Chain A
Amino acid sequence: MAILINKDSRIVIQGITGREATMITKHTLDYGTRVLAGVTPGKKGQDVHGVPVYNTVREAVEEHQVNTSLIVVPPAFALDAVLEAVDNGIQVVVVTTENIPQLDILKMLHAARQNGVRIIGPNTVGMINPGDRIKLGSIGGDNPERCFVPGHVGVISRSGGMTAETSWMVKRAGFGVSTSVGIGGDGLIGSSIRDLLELFEQDPNTHAVVTFSEPGTMFEEQAADFLREGGFTKPLISYIAGRFTENMPEGTVFGHAGAMIAGDVGRPSVKARKLREAGAIVVDRYDDMIDVLRSVLSEKAVK
């Protein structure tokens, strides 16, 4: 078990013939993930590393009953690509595209919500379930094993790179991951930390969750509320990067576009306090998560 993606996922890649998408397709197939179809308008009949290409998602659904889409298209086409996936009954959509105009993001998230479609991203590295060797996105690159080994820790990260690093920390601690998800660095995203905690709570294969957070947004505060309400009952270990930004003039942005502090909203210290008060283990030093993981998981006597 894992969340969102597993052996039953029927995957289509929208924009599959692009330079980036072709490379991702290769890495994904090499990892063992089955990709049933690709879509690039005007390129029907071609194939990318053996994956058949169609003009429309509709054709990919008709031929292969795809239900999960990875979107790797330029910003100008991202909104239409998501609307096409939603319109064709795709249930899980991973949007890798960075720098999508926010008015387009609002529209795609709204359309998805109205249709019960789950969006990961945009601006995400993707997600991986190493137990089933299923990955969606550039996550893990050409060497997913370096960081992602099968296990029982869920990873949620605002940063794509830190999805890998944090999963590697889990590995260094002697454990593995059930599912690692990069939720995206923008302020507007489809699935928040809270949303994924809800799924990890339901997953018997996940025994603890580690989150990597950054300044900006209310995602951690929402997660804290969810914990306090009893929505998530497993151990939650959190690290919040960028404490130094609190001492910079207001409005300064380092790192991701979503990492902006305004007033008290977005302050790492506030996020840390709220998570702690709700029962999460917040580590001040990133490396401390190794020891914390060891003690938390040995208490549970599971690996």
Chain B
Amino acid sequence: MGRILEHHSKQLIRQAGVRTPENWIAETAEQAEDIVRRYGKSVVLKALVPVGKRGKAGAIKFANTPEEAKLQTESLLAMTVRHFPVDKVLVEEKVDISEEWYVSITIDKNRQMPVILATTEGGVEVEDLVREHPDRIVIQHIDPLMGLSGFKAKEIWSRLGLNGKHLLLASDVLSKLYAAFLKNDCYLLEINPLVLTKQGDVVAAASVMAVDDAAMYRQKELEGMVEVGSERVWRPLTDLEKRMIAVNDADYRGTARYTEMDGGDIGFMCGGGGGSLLSFDALLDLGGRPANYTETGGNPPEEKVYGLTKGILSKPGVKGLFVAHNITNNTQIDVMANGIVRALKELAIDPRSFPVVVREAGVNDAVGRDIFMDAGVEYYGEDVTICEAALIMMNKMRAAYPDLYTTN
């Protein structure tokens, strides 16, 4: 899942025929001032960050004059919203609100269907509304093969009490939003509020969009809009993380995902999806402090393993390396071994003084074992479990750094 910033999401729903407020991007307070001077009307200023609940975080402000816009933009640009520093501000037309509604389209994973949530009480915390006033919200699942029929869109709003022109307008907008959801392979499209203006228009005043990064191959027009890797982290990517994405993207074979932890001293390279979770739990249970969470598997080529290992070891404070995989179905252990050993040699790391423990079993593991052992790396195959390997690693860390790890 990849987040799309608000100005891009509004561009995409505008393309689907839904009205949105006019908007501009300001990267400095002066730019915001200029924009408002030329526009000549009151504006809304929003921190352009890929996280929600900006209103609560104080990251949405209002300005009636160019001078006010300048001051407010200055304060926004000084903010960090949920770990994301604000470096752009969305300057938006302030719409005349008559009513605030709400629409979201997402995937119900349990029912395995797209689901629409709609209410005529917009600008609210929908989770609270569902809990406290379930009668005021419509939850409508959509047949993935049939799609959203026009009559179904009308049923939704009519149940919420709309009638006359408003019913027809709202239904039309909902159909267009659903089309945008499908066209852009969204995970989530939330319009809060969907505004009925005093002039009688329906306008998407605020939008949140997240798209399916597995669908990017057929979504070329979204290139550059998706915050790459944003589905996996709670803060902006670090430089090392960005470099590791490049290492992964250089070859389609195998996976390589690198997430940095705060602090820590054990370089962590495990996999696959489940084995890495188990390995991380095992180290933590034994008092270990992994410096990163690196997941690799699916038979990566040597170059990828090498690049990843170098990245792991180059994080300051890394004092050991734990490599563990579940007994693999298809990963070549000799290829893994060549990549890891090459990185160790290049960084002049001596596994006799720098703790390295490897637990690998799979295709060509006899060859892999020799490569590791020739390089002085402590290697285990299916003679030990992952938990046992983690204990061996921790014992080595305790022995090598008695001041860092007090024995217990």
Binds B, one of A7-15, A38-46, A241-249: A241-249
Chain A residues 96 to 135 lying within 8 A of chain B, measured CB to CB, are: 99-103, 106-107, 109-111, 125
The 8 Å CB contact of A248, one of B234, B275, B285, B297, is: B234
Contact of B326 (CB < 8 Å), options: A143, A165, A218: A165
Determine if B217 and A255 form an interchain contact, defined as CB atoms under 8 angstroms apart.
Answer: no
Q: Is the CB of A253 within 8 A of B284?
A: no
**Could you say which of A147, A169, A254 has the most chain B C-beta atoms within 10 Å of its C-beta?**
A254
Chain A residues with Cβ below 8 Å from B295 are 254-255
Q: For B235, what are the chain A residues with a Cβ–Cβ distance below 8 Å?
A: 249
Is A161's beta carbon under 8 Å from chain B?
A: yes
- Tell me which residues across on chain B come within 8 A of A252, comparing CB atoms: 232-234, 259
Kindly identify, within residues 205 to 238 of chain A, every residue whose CB is under 8 Å from any CB belonging to chain B. 212, 214-215, 217-218
- Does A29 sit at the interface, judged by CB under 8 A? no
Q: Are A161 and B329 in contact, CB atoms less than 8 angstroms apart?
A: yes
Check if B182 sits within 8 Å of A164, measured CB to CB.
no
Q: Select the stretch in A59-67, A152-160, A271-279, A294-302 that faces chain B.
A: A152-160
Nearest opposing residue in chain A for B278, CB measure:
A241
Q: Which residue of A lies closest to B83 (CB)?
A: A249
What is the predominant secondary structure among interface residues of chain B facing chain A? mixed
- Give a binary string over B87-125; 1 marks a CB under 8 Å from any A CB, 0 the rest: 000000000000000000001011011100000000000
Query: How many residues of chain A are within 8 Å of chain B by beta carbon?
Result: 61
Min distance, Cβ A225 to any Cβ of chain B, angstroms: 12
Least CB distance, A208 to chain B, in whole angstroms: 20
Is there contact, CB below 8 Å, between A110 and B145? yes
Residues of B near A147 (CB, < 8 A) are: 327
B60 in contact (CB, < 8 A): no
Q: Provide the bound-state CA to CA distance between A215 and B281, in Å.
A: 12
CB distance from B280 to the nearest CB of A (A): 6
With known contacts A241-B274, A252-B232, A141–B388 Cβ distance under 8 A: no
A101 CB contacts on chain B under 8 angstroms = 185, 212, 214-215, 218
Of A107, A110, A159, A169, which one neighbours B272 at CB under 8 angstroms?
A159
Tell me, yes or no, whether A138 is within 8 Å of chain B by CB. Answer: yes
A168 at the B interface (CB under 8 A)? yes
- CB pair A212–B274 under 8 Å, yes or no, is yes
CB distance from B217 to the nearest CB of A (A): 6
Partner of A109, one of B112, B259, B293: B112
- Do A102 and B212 touch (CB < 8 A)? yes
**A251 — which chain B residues lie within 8 A by C-beta?**
234
**CB-defined contacts of A214 to chain B, threshold 8 Å:** 273-274, 277
Scan B248-276; emit 1 where CB is below 8 A from any A CB, else 0.
00000000000100000000000111111
Q: Is A139 an interface residue (CB 8 A)?
A: yes
**Is A30 located at the chain interface by the 8 A CB criterion?**
no
Q: How far is the CB of B213 from chain A (nearest CB, A)?
A: 9
Min CB–CB distance B69 → chain A (angstroms):
32
Q: Give the nearest-CB partner of B275 in chain A.
A: A161
- Output the nearest chain B residue to A248 by Cβ-Cβ distance: B234
Chain A, Cβ-Cβ closest to B109? A187
- Cα–Cα distance between A14 and B276 once the two chains are bound (Å): 31
- Write out the residue numbers on chain A whose beta carbons fall within 8 Å of the beta carbon of B382: 146, 168
Q: Give the CA-CA distance A138 to B362 in the complex, in Å.
A: 13
A259 touches B273 (CB 8 A): yes
Instruction: Tell me which residues across on chain A come within 8 A of B285, comparing CB atoms.
Output: 285
| Complex: A253 Cα to B1 Cα, angstroms | 10
Q: Is B322 an interface residue (CB 8 A)?
A: no
Question: CB-CB < 8 A to A212: which residues of B?
Answer: 274
B143 on interface, CB distance cutoff 8 Å:
yes
Chain A 163-204 per-residue mask, 1 if CB under 8 angstroms from chain B, else 0: 011001100100000000000010110000000000000000
B277 and A161 contact, CB distance less than 8 A: no
**A99-B214, A107-B144 given as contacts; is B107 within 8 A of A188 (CB)?**
yes
How far in angstroms is the closest Cβ of chain A from B406? 21
A1 at the B interface (CB under 8 A): no
Contacts of B110 in A (CB 8 A): 218
Is the CB–CB distance between B330 and A138 below 8 Å?
yes
Chain A residues near B217 (CB, 8 Å)? Answer: 75-76
Contacts of B231 in A (CB 8 A): 253
A103-B185 contact in complex given A159-B275, A164-B328, C-beta closer than 8 Å: yes
Asked if A87 is at the interface of the complex by the 8 Å CB criterion, the answer is no
B392 in the interface (beta carbon within 8 A): no
With a cutoff of 8 Å between Cβ atoms, the chain A residues found around residue B386 in the complex are 165, 286
Complex contact A75–B276 (CB within 8 A): no
Q: What residues of B have a CB within 8 angstroms of the CB of A48 in the complex? A: none
From B114, B271, B275, B285, name the one whose CB has the most chain A CB atoms within 10 angstroms: B275
Known: A218-B110, A252-B232. A141 touches B328 (CB 8 A): yes
Q: Does A151 contact B (CB under 8 A)?
A: no
CA distance A160 to B145 in the complex (A): 29
Closest to A158 in B: B274
Residues from chain A with a CB closer than 8 A to the CB of B271 are 161
The B148-193 residues at the A interface (CB cut-off 8 A) are: 182, 185, 187
Which B residues are CB-close (under 8 A) to A160? 272-274, 329
Q: Which residues of A have CB within 8 Å of B387?
A: 285-287
Which A residues lie within 8 Å of B385 (CB)? 169, 172, 286-287
Contact A253 B144 (CB under 8 A): no
User: Bound state CA distance, A242 and B274, in angstroms?
Assistant: 8
Once the chains are docked, how many angstroms separate the CA of A244 from the CA of B273?
A: 14
Q: How far is the CB of B250 from chain A (nearest CB, A)?
A: 17
Chain B residues whose C-beta falls within 8 Å of the C-beta of A138 in the assembled complex: 329-330
B276 contacts which chain A residues (CB < 8 A)? 254-255
Q: Is B328 within 8 A of A161, CB to CB?
A: yes
A106 proximity list for chain B (CB < 8 A): 107, 112-114, 144
Query: CB distance A254 to B293 under 8 Å?
Result: yes
B130 at interface by CB-CB < 8 Å: no
13 contacts between A and B (CB under 8 A): A100-B214, A101-B218, A102-B187, A102-B212, A107-B144, A107-B145, A110-B145, A141-B328, A214-B273, A248-B234, A255-B273, A259-B277, A286-B385
5 more A-B contacts (CB under 8 A) besides A161-B326, A252-B232? A102-B187, A159-B273, A161-B273, A164-B328, A254-B276
Q: What residues of chain B have their CB less than 8 Å away from a CB belonging to chain A?
A: 107, 109-110, 112-114, 143-145, 182, 185, 187, 212, 214-215, 217-218, 231-235, 259, 271-278, 280-282, 284-285, 293, 295, 297, 325-330, 361-363, 382, 385-388
